[in-house]
Structure 1
């Protein structure tokens, strides 16, 4: 028997209450599944609810309607099996790199020797072992994001949610970290749900790409990338897929500007 999806999103909606007592619909009815070990990217216009969707899956935001299922069980609060990496790094400035990565195992009650050994193992994986004793302010943006990623992995989650983790980085560092993330994913085979503004980034990374509409966000199309890794950005198929997705996003941006939704 084929196992069910690791994540099942069914009829999910999110409405916020505004300061003047009105409502703002951030996410329209949204449904999709994520299979185990998949790398799925979500792209869409600014303000379409991508980050809100990820926060609901993480249990950090309440849902207005619908259901989020993890291995068949409803998600209503944060849980160890679903980790999250934010764009803002979210490292604790008073803790060293080693102690930041060891944070999850520490909360889980692991002895110091065990959690430090685990943290060192993950830091070696991303070439950061020589910076174990450094503090976050002593690191570059790319280095801080490496630490944030392995800190999430040190919790040993089944699912890793990533909210534009490379959005604040320069182009060269972003490309290097994309390659590094794929190497880590291939090593550990976690399930990754990755929000990005970059169509190129989505095509380079993902097995599948979910394209969202302008607000209120909903899934317009799902693309199976179907290209072997490592991917060649100069390949015609790469360019054709990018052009197609960009045309959808440009249309949605026009709808948003005129107050209409496609």
Structure 2
């Protein structure tokens, strides 16, 4: 690909921290990734390999021990308004309505009531939750809360969305529905998405590209281009073969490189 299309670059990132027992934990090891504009990229890897740590460093929520993060060729130091984040837990403010949660970022930016109303309406329509605009988080299902969290990230109009296992806490059926919903939103907006997941199936269903990480200290083991047309059929032979290949890579990491907890 043309290097000029690189939207986000993590260069030679490593991360060390001290465990509760006082030991030094090497979470990431010289990890470099390139994310291209409008790409949907998923990262999978063994538990504890540093996936979330990598995402939090890119988001500016953690500092790397070594390495740099670049956005459109400019080094990032801290958070960036063009980069949004969706966490596994919905992080909605319980005392605010759905509409007010969606426009929370716009409130911080001191946008007018008119602008907030227009943006809220657009995203309420997009996530098909207009009738719940005045509802509170406790009145919503997990899937509905996550739709609101995604809408809140989109309402700030970021160029890049980082997602840390956003569907991990959902039941299997709701998770599949949310995967479809996310693809629908992505196809409408064509944002650049970097998505962390434990699920190989989820990665294949969603991504243009899958990055497989090694065991801790994590680094990129392999990059796989997913060239199957959307919508993807989980019953396809190609789908099953790719799933098996990735699972074998992960199993190899677990079996041959057992992690000793510090």
Alpha-carbon separation, structure 2, partners of 1:160 and 1:80: 11
Deviations 1:206-255 (A, max 9, x none): 00000001111110000001111001111111000000000011111113
| Counterpart check, 1:12 vs 2:13 | yes
| Counterpart check, 1:38 vs 2:49 | no
The aligned residue for residue 175 of structure 1 is 176
The aligned residue for residue 102 of structure 1 is 103
| SS of equivalent to 1:60 | coil
The aligned residue for residue 88 of structure 1 is 89
Alpha-carbon separation, structure 2, partners of 1:227 and 1:252: 26
4+ residue segments displaced more than 6 Å? none
TM-score (norm 1): 0.96
The aligned residue for residue 187 of structure 1 is 188
The aligned residue for residue 153 of structure 1 is 154
Please report how far the alpha carbon of residue 19 of structure 1 lies from its aligned counterpart in structure 2 after TM superposition: 4.0
The aligned residue for residue 117 of structure 1 is 118
Please report how far the alpha carbon of residue 107 of structure 1 lies from its aligned counterpart in structure 2 after TM superposition: 1.2
Q: Does the Cα contact within 8 Å between 1:214 and 1:256 map onto a contact in 2?
A: yes
The aligned residue for residue 53 of structure 1 is 54
Deviations 1:126-167 (A, max 9, x none): 111110101101100000000000000000000000000000
The aligned residue for residue 256 of structure 2 is 255
Alpha-carbon separation, structure 2, partners of 1:8 and 1:252: 25
The aligned residue for residue 226 of structure 1 is 227
Alpha-carbon separation, structure 2, partners of 1:256 and 1:118: 49
Please report how far the alpha carbon of residue 21 of structure 1 lies from its aligned counterpart in structure 2 after TM superposition: 4.2
Alpha-carbon separation, structure 2, partners of 1:99 and 1:258: 44
Specify whether residues 117 and 245 from structure 1 end up closer, same or farther in structure 2 by C-alpha distance, changes over 3 A only. Answer: same
| SS of equivalent to 2:4 | coil
Alpha-carbon separation, structure 2, partners of 1:101 and 1:113: 14
Structure 1 stretches lacking a partner, 5+ long = none
Alpha-carbon separation, structure 2, partners of 1:258 and 1:138: 41
Alpha-carbon separation, structure 1, partners of 2:136 and 2:237: 44
Please report how far the alpha carbon of residue 3 of structure 1 lies from its aligned counterpart in structure 2 after TM superposition: 2.2
